[in-house]
Amino acid sequence: MTDPKVLASGIAEAAAIDAADPLARFAERFVPNDGVIAYLDGNSLGRPLRVTAERLGAFVADDWGGRLIRAWDEQWMGLPFVLGDRIAAATLGAAPGQTVVADSTTVLLYKLMRAAVDARPGRHEIVLDDDNFPTDRYVAEGIARERGLRIRWLHVDPARGVEPAQAQEAVGPDTALVVLSHVAYRSGFLADADRITRIAHDAGALVLWDLCHSVGSVPIELDDWDVDLAVGCTYKYLNGGPGAPAFGYVARRLQGELEQPVQGWMGARDVFAMGDGFEPGDGMRRFVSGTPPVVGMLAMQDMLALIEEAGMPAIRAKSIALTEFALRQVQERLVPLGVVVATPLAPAERGSHVTVRHPAFRAVTARLWEEGVIPDFRAPDGLRIGLSPLSTTFAELQRGLDAIEAALTDARGDAPGAPQSAGPAGAAGAARASS
């Protein structure tokens, strides 16, 4: 356990970094939370903005309550496309007309994976890594079963992810589709999407990138990388709220060729013709199925405004600074306690979260949550420290790291007689006091 005076000086240093941080002003735009000492889970659920509370109330009174059904024509029918284009411009490096907001991540993955494999008849393999997020794996397995395909599993180092050489070895003339995560949900490994996409294309395969853990924290250039398909989440670094709908990207050159299986009224060429027989709409419309989830699309608009204001290069720079800050202290203070780093050390190889492993982390996370220090736990022994560049401050991260060290020290049985039992000053003490 680090000496309380050292802790206090760590906080002071972190506060000094915050004072020099060009993005520091954004943190105060989020809903304040007195009971939380450090929120280190923005990679799982982004925090709401203050203006979002107002927006939702005003939406009920003015848009829904005031305009009623007329608002569909006035604004809501176009919202999936308007918002898709806005996400594309702010975060995806994608030209308009290729991105739409709809469904859950899982449902969109199903629709776009089905569209892709059905467009490559005669090819029988989906390439996927065995450490991909469960829903990606489950959806692919279901599609493989129903379409008579095989999964070719890439076995990856769980502290890293899929390397180009692995992809090169796996893809071939029988590959219909490659499905990979841009940032791995466990290790935080940042894949070389540009190179892997070219490798897949050279083999004649399509590529779908899962952007859930990268969008809004890592620069993405879908058009430049010539990506075919992508799906991403809006409730992590886009702060859309719990269960906010996903977005999907389909490269313009493929839109006419692909057909997804859930053909609903909102995907038809003429939505209100209500005629006989389904004729798919042009462009991204055909990838829509049901009525747009309007209420779920409100909150992310406030975060997009912040991202537009800050710009992705500055966001990425702060993300790297935060993960560097975390990793340095992890190595100095937690590795000596038996913690294993499960995130790449090179900044260019990671996204915006840091994962560390220790057998005690399940119990440690439960205690930290009670104390108002909130990382998340991923079985069997991973603790993820998520760093959301626009809402996380260095001082907050410092408080979180102090609390993790204290909780782990206690869990290892090092507590008796150590300084913290005398009531340490600083944030680590505050953390325990709040439990």
Residues acting as catalytic residues:
133, 210, 235-236, 384
Instruction: Please tell me whether residue 246 binds its own copies under the rule CB under 8 A.
Output: yes
The backbone torsions φ and ψ at residue 357, rounded to the nearest 5 degrees and listed phi first, read -125, 140
Q: Which of 12, 15, 16, 60 binds its own copies (CB under 8 A)?
A: 60
Pick the closer one to its own copies by CB: 244 or 360. 244
Least distance from its own copies to the Cβ atom of residue 320, Å: 24
Q: Are 368 and 434 in contact (CB under 8 A)?
A: no
Q: Which two tokens stand for residue 220?
A: 């993405």
CB of 409 to its own copies, least distance (A): 23
Q: Is 68 in the site for its own copies (CB under 8 A)?
A: yes
**3-state class (DSSP) for residue 258:** coil
When the beta carbons of 7 and 230 are compared against its own copies, the nearer one is 230
- The verdict on 215 binding its own copies (CB under 8 A) reads no
SS3 262: coil
- Give the interface segment with its own copies, choosing from 48-56, 157-165, 170-178, 427-435 (CB under 8 A): 48-56
Residue by residue, DSSP assigns 40-102 as -BTTTSPPPBHHHHHHHHHIIIIIIIIITTHHIIIIITTHHHHHHHHHIIIII---TTSEEEE
Q: Is residue 54 a contact point for its own copies (CB under 8 A)?
A: yes
Q: Is 423 in the site for its own copies (CB under 8 A)?
A: no
**Which of these ranges, 14-22, 187-195, 261-269, 410-418, lies near its own copies under the rule CB under 8 A?**
261-269
Does residue 365 touch its own copies according to CB under 8 A? no
DSSP alpha helices (H): ranges in 260-374? 299-310, 312-329, 361-371
Q: How far is the CB of 209 from its own copies (least distance, A)?
A: 18
Handedness of CA 193, 194, 199, 205 (dihedral sign): positive
The total number of residues written for the chain in this structure:
435
Q: Is 363 in the site for its own copies (CB under 8 A)?
A: no
Q: Choose which of 28, 272, 425, 433 interacts with its own copies (CB under 8 A).
A: 272
> Is 264 one of the binding residues for its own copies (CB under 8 A)?
yes
**SS3 state of residue 357:** strand
CB of 343 to its own copies, least distance (A): 18
CA distance 274 to 87: 30
CB of 374 to its own copies, least distance (A): 6
* DSSP-derived 3-state class of residue 222: helix
Interface with its own copies includes 9 (CB under 8 A)? no
User: Counting contacts by CB under 8 A, is residue 241 touching its own copies?
Assistant: yes
Exposed, middle or buried, 313 (CB in 10 Å: 0-12/13-18/19+)? exposed
The interface with its own copies within residues 372-411 (CB under 8 A) comprises: 374, 376, 378-379
